[in-house]
Amino acid sequence: MSLLQQYLPSRWFSENISKAQTVLIISWSLAAFVLSLSYRSILLSTLIPIRYEHAIETMADGDATGLPIYMIKGSSPMALLKIDQRSHHKNMAKKIREFSRTAEFPEDVLKE
């Protein structure tokens, strides 16, 4: 009795089992094993995002970063940010860098 026959159901084997069936069962078992190993090591690490920096999720977080905001000149979000009276929004409105819709992105942005 082979090692394969010990661990698989006996109904899969008979006296006239072909070598092709044995090879197929072994190859599928090996493929499943390799796939499970790759998921536990490489794939799992690529599917889980690692946060190295604090995420900017609110206007208060954006204000705390000190980063400028790049907005299209005359856009609705820019107009709404400028007329908002909340303290974080006022601070963010001071950090706006405008650029036109037809022009390319400002050169200082590309250098950063």
Tokens of 54: 């604090």
Q: Using one digit for the tens of pLDDT, what is the confidence trace for 4-14? A: 677 777 776 66
Pick the closest to residue 29 from 63, 3, 55 (CA basis): 3
In whole angstroms, give the CA distance from residue 95 to residue 69: 6
Q: Where are the domains of the chain?
A: 3-47, 59-111
Tokens of 86: 């909340």
pLDDT of residue 112: 57
pLDDT > 70? residue 15? no
In whole angstroms, give the CA distance from residue 25 to residue 13: 11
pTM of the model: 0.42
Tokens of 105: 């992105």
Q: What is the largest CA-CA distance in the chain?
A: 85
User: Do residues 36 and 44 lie in contact, with contact meaning Cβ atoms separated by under 8 Å?
Assistant: no
Tokens of 58: 């609110």
pLDDT of residue 30: 93
Q: Using one digit for the tens of pLDDT, what is the confidence trace for 53-76? A: 778 888 888 888 888 888 888 888
